[in-house]
Structure 1
Amino acid sequence: MKKNIGATDRYIRIALAVILIALSAADVLTGIWTLAGFIAAGILLLTSLVSSCPLYLPFGIRTNRAHKLR
C-alpha cells in the first residue's frame, strides 16, 4: 500500500485515538458508543502506524510531503 499520510496527519490521528480511549475509560462514552469509540481509535492507530489511509486512495488525497516534493 502506498504511504499517503504525512506526519501532521499521523499526530492528529493518534491524538484523536487517545481522546476516544480516554472518553471511553472515563465513562463519558457508554453502551454501544464505547465499542464504536474503541473501533474508531483502533482504525486511527492502525492507519497511523502504516502511514496509509484506504479512504484517501479513491480521492487521490496525500498529506505526506515526500510525494509533494517529486
Structure 2
Amino acid sequence: MKKNMGTTDKAIRLIVAAIILILYINGSISGVLGIVLLVLAIVFAITSFISFCPLYKPFGINTNKK
C-alpha cells in the first residue's frame, strides 16, 4: 500500500473520530445513527494510522506531499 494521506488529512480524521466518540459516550448520539457514526470513527482512526484511504485510490486523490 502506497501512502496517500497527508498530515493535515490524518489530523482532521482523528479529530472527527474523537468528536464522534465523545458524543457517543455522552449519549448525544445513540441508536442506529450512533452505531453507524461509531463505525465511521473507527474507520477514520484506522485509515489515519496507516496513512492510506482506499476510497482515494479510484479517484486518484493523494494528499501526501512526499
Give me the TM-score of the superposition, normalised by structure 1: 0.91
Question: Helix, strand or coil: the match of 2:41?
Answer: helix
Q: Which residue identity is paired with 1:57?
A: K
Task: Name 1:31's counterpart in structure 2.
Answer: 31
Please say if 1:55 is aligned against 2:61.
Answer: no
Offset at residue 38 of structure 1 (A): 1.2
Task: Name 1:21's counterpart in structure 2.
Answer: 21
The alignment-based identity, stated in percent, is 41
| Aligned length, in residue pairs | 66
Q: Which residue identity is paired with 1:10?
A: K
Deviation sequence 1:6-31 (CA, Å, 0-9, x none): 00000000000000001101111111
Question: Over aligned residue pairs, what C-alpha RMSD do you find?
Answer: 0.6
Task: Name 1:44's counterpart in structure 2.
Answer: 44
Distance 1:19 1:6 in 2: 20
Instruction: List runs of 5+ in structure 2 lacking aligned partners.
Output: none
